[in-house]
Amino acid sequence: MSPISLALPHVAKLHAYTPGLQPTGPGWVKLNTNECPYPPSPKVAEAIRREVGEDGAALRLYPNPRSASLRSAVAALHGGGLTEANVCIGNGSDDILNLLVRAFCTSTAAAGFTLPSYSLYPVLVEIQDGRTDVIPFDRSMRLPVERIASSGARAFFLTSPNAPTGVAFRNAEIAAVLESFRGLLVVDEAYAPFADEDAVPLLSRHPRLVIVRTLSKAYALAGLRVGYALADPGIIEVLDRVRDSYNVNRLSQAAAVAALGDVPYYAGVVAKVRATRDRFLRYLVERRGWFTYPSAANFIFTEPRGAGGGSGPAVAKSAYDFLYARNVLVRYFPSHALTASFLRISVGTDQEMQVLSDTLDAWQKAPNA
C-alpha cells in the first residue's frame, strides 16, 4: 500500500498555498510579495548580535514559550488599555490565522471571507476539512456589510486594507459588521500601518473582534516570521492552548522587541513608502489612464492597458510576462474575474518604481502589448 494513501482523504486531495516567487539570484526588481524596500531598524541587527553573543551560547536554551517581552512590547505600542493578556505572538501572522481556523472553524462552523482577499484563508480551512462561506465583492470593492452580518460564519476573516486590491474599510463599516454579525470577526491588518486608520480602537468595545498584525511588511522583517493577535483575553487564552509552545525563536523575539521600540525609524519608513505609493498611483491614473484602486497598503492594484488602449486578462498577462522576462517581478492573479485583468505591484524604492515604469513603457511599445 502506498504510504500516501494513509493520509486523511481531504489532505490527500488538497493543494498547498502558492507563495509568491522568491528568486535566489541577484538582479531582480522584486515587487511581488509586498516586502518593505528599506532595511529594518538598525536596532534589529544590534539586538540579534546581542542575543547571539560571541559564541551563540544563548541559542542552546529554549526561547521564552510565551514570547513574554514581546507581548509587553506589543501592548505598550498600541496602548489604549491593552495588556499582555490581550496579545498572542505567532511565527508570522500566518501562524495566528492558522490557530484561529483550528480553534474556531470546522465542517459545521464555517470560516467566512470575502473574494478576493488573502488567498491563504481557504487553504487553512481546507487543511482542517472545514466549511467556507465566501462573500464575493463586486468591482466597486465596497464592503458587503449585510451579507457578512447574515453569513452565519463562526469566524469571518476580513483583510483590511484588502489584498490584493489595497482598499481599506472604514472603522464605521467594521463597527457596523460587529453590531450585526454574531461570530468572531478577524480583521487581518497586515497592511494597516500604511493606512489612515486601523481598527484597534474598536477592541475595547467589541470582545468578538480579533486584530491580526505582521512584522513582515511595515517592519521589514518578513525573513524573521513574527506576527500577533490583539483580542479579548479569553480569545488569547484559546489561541495559546492550540499554539505550539515554542513557536517563536529567540532571535525573532529579540529582533521584534527592538523593532517595535524604534517608532521614529518606522514612521520614516512608512512615510517614504506612502509617498512613493501615492506618487506612483497618480502616475498610473493620470499619465497612463489605468484604472487603479485607491491603495491604503504598500502595494498597488492596477489594470494595465496595452498599446491599443485595451485591458483584460490577456493584457495583464502580457505585461506580467514582459516584466518577468526583464527581471521585474510583480504578482498576477489569473484565477478570478475581478483580479485577472490586474497586476499587484509592491511599492519599492523610487528607483525600483522608475525601472518598472521604464519597462512598462517598453512593453507598451512592444508588438504584442
Element (H, E) at 345: strand 343-346
Judged by beta carbon, residue 93 or residue 318, the one nearer its own copies is 93
d(CA 40, CA 219) in angstroms, rounded, equals: 6
Listed residue (321, 100, 115) closest to 211, CA to CA: 100
* 188 touches its own copies by CB under 8 A: no
Element (H, E) at 112: strand 111-115
* 201 touches its own copies by CB under 8 A: no
CB of 17 to its own copies, least distance (A): 5
β-strand 328-329 against 29-30: which pairing, if any?
parallel
3-class state of residue 118 by DSSP: coil
Binding residues for its own copies restricted to 214-233, rule: CB under 8 A? 216, 220-225, 231-232
- Residue among 132, 246, 278, 364 that touches its own copies (CB under 8 A): 246
Binding residues for its own copies restricted to 290-319, rule: CB under 8 A? none
End-to-end C-alpha distance for the chain, whole angstroms: 52
* 48 touches its own copies by CB under 8 A: yes
* 184 touches its own copies by CB under 8 A: yes
* 179 touches its own copies by CB under 8 A: no
* 234 touches its own copies by CB under 8 A: yes
Chain-centroid distance, C-alpha 253: 20
Element (H, E) at 173: helix 171-180
List the x/- string, 250-269, binding to its own copies by CB under 8 A. Answer: xxx--x--------------
Residue 17 burial (C-beta neighbours within 10 Å; 0-12, 13-18, 19+): middle
CB of 24 to its own copies, least distance (A): 7
CB of 119 to its own copies, least distance (A): 11
Binding residues for its own copies restricted to 79-138, rule: CB under 8 A? 91-92, 94-95, 98, 102-106, 109, 127-129
* 60 touches its own copies by CB under 8 A: yes
d(CA 275, CA 140) in angstroms, rounded, equals: 25
Query: Grid coordinates representing 101?
Result: 481556523
DSSP 223: G
* 182 touches its own copies by CB under 8 A: yes
* 204 touches its own copies by CB under 8 A: no
Judged by beta carbon, residue 144 or residue 207, the one nearer its own copies is 207
Judged by beta carbon, residue 21 or residue 275, the one nearer its own copies is 21
